[in-house]
Structure 1
Amino acid sequence: MSTALPGASLPVLADLVPARVFRGARVRDAALVVGAAGFVGLAAQVSVAVPGSPVPVTGQTFAVLLAGTALGAWRGLAAMALYLAAGAAGMPWFAEGTSGTGMPTLGYVLGFVLAAPLAGALARRGADRGPLRTAGIMLLGNAVIYAVGLAYLAHDLGIGLDKAYEIGMKNYLLGDALKIALAMGLLPAAWKLAGRRG
């Protein structure tokens, strides 16, 4: 197990899926991209409305960062671009079974498209192999999602960033901390399991 970070190009979890199972690497990669988009769409349906906010609590951000980390940068980008494009075109797999582009929470989905490849790029450098580095991936990914999501929310609702923070981030930080703690155990454990099987 490597501790590399700086410029290393290490395998990500998706690289461990044998291409021969899918009759080639391209088919495997396409299946992983579609599967990851579906995983995020499914996680979006785990949704709890928050009084006074258009932003529900969902499993999306966890799923996005997990998928990005497991897939690597370009597959993570492709998966989230597919998720965004299909949802914008009418696939009802955004939070609470919504679709389209006319919602104040669209900025969070746009943030997914940036956060997943960031998580994947960090995973290529081994940042998902230990708990603390995994926490770093999750923190950075969440920061990107919130930066885009809050800016869009403020613009769409015609409010200041301080108010956007109040209704679109403040009440979600505890849940984010729990998701980060879960990822800190899950991703390094997946690598340990992969090491034993390999």
Structure 2
Amino acid sequence: MTTAMSPIARPRPLADALLPRTATVSTALVVGGALLTAGAAQVSVPLWPVPITGQTLAVLLVGSALGARRGALSMVLYVLLGLVGLPVFADGASGAGVLLGPSGGYLLGFVAAAALVGRVAERFGDRRFTAALLSFLLGTVATFAVGMVWLAVALGLDLRHTLEYGLYPFVLGGLAKALVGAGVTSLGWTAALRPRRAPGTMD
């Protein structure tokens, strides 16, 4: 005989453990995720042809916290904000030229990464550090995969130069961001699942 999974044990994004899942809340979360990514993009180390930024960490956290659909929508909104001219891309850049340039594939990869990480959170859960880390590593791979394909096309690179320009400089940073993101997510779940005292009670 099967038993229904309790609401506490059921896999779900962190946002759903903290906030009601209403249209208003979901809209605010999607917008907030896009703004968080825009802010992280300004933490940048100039590098040709693709800069090192804090965007990837924000993407992973947004996907994990919001889930697949809202996480992907948040990244789509982020890209659209940049396309219409708001300075949300790395170093305050904006416009279609960024999306069509060497780093454009990484921006599209953010959508895939947020959706993948969010799907893992919804389907399997990411409350444990190891589960979150594996999810974030998969999301990082998704970003690199899409980004490097477009980088090779945009610059006409062979495989060796694609890896040299589009992967090797980012491996250690990607691992560090996945570790930090997994730690933040794990701490967030610890706080979310901590028993709350009723008003007026004492320890």
Is contact 1:154–1:160 with CA below 8 Å preserved after alignment? yes
Q: Which of 88, 93, 99 lines up with 1:98 in the alignment?
A: 93
TM-score, structure 2 normalization: 0.86
Matches within 5 A, 1:127-146: 127-146=125-144
On the 8 A contact 2:18/2:192 being kept in 1, the answer is: no
Counterparts of residues 79-98 of structure 1 (less than 5 Å): 79-98=74-93
TM-score, normalised by the number of residues in structure 1: 0.88
C-alpha separation in 1, matches of 2:188 and 2:65 = 10
* Counterpart for residue 74 of structure 1: 69
Q: Is 1:43 equivalent to 2:44 in the alignment?
A: no
- Give the aligned length: 186
1:113 is displaced (CA, Å) by 0.9
Q: Return 5+ residue gaps in structure 1 as ranges.
A: none
Q: Say if 2:6 is the partner of 1:11.
A: no
- Structure 2 residue aligned with 1:118: 116
If you compute each CA radius of gyration, which structure gives the higher value, 1 or 2? 2
Structure-2 change in CA distance of 1:143 and 1:18 (3 Å): closer
- Which structure 1 residue ranges, 4+ long, deviate > 3 Å from structure 2? none
Structure 2 residue 24 is the aligned partner of structure 1 residue 27: yes
Match of 2:200 in 1: none
Unaligned runs of 5+ in 2: 197-203
Give 1:9 shift. Answer: 5.8
The 3 A distance-change label for structure 1 pair 197 and 36 is farther
Residues 126-183 of structure 1 deviation map (CA, whole Å, 9 limit, x = unaligned): 4411121111111110111111100101111111132111011101111111112212
1:125 shift after superposition: 2.7
Q: Is the 8 A contact 2:43 2:54 kept in 1?
A: yes
Given that residues 127 and 137 in structure 1 are in contact (C-alpha distance below 8 angstroms), is that contact kept between their aligned partners in structure 2? Answer: no
Percent of aligned pairs with the same amino acid: 44
- Tell me which amino acid in the other structure corresponds to 2:107: V
RMSD (CA atoms): 1.8
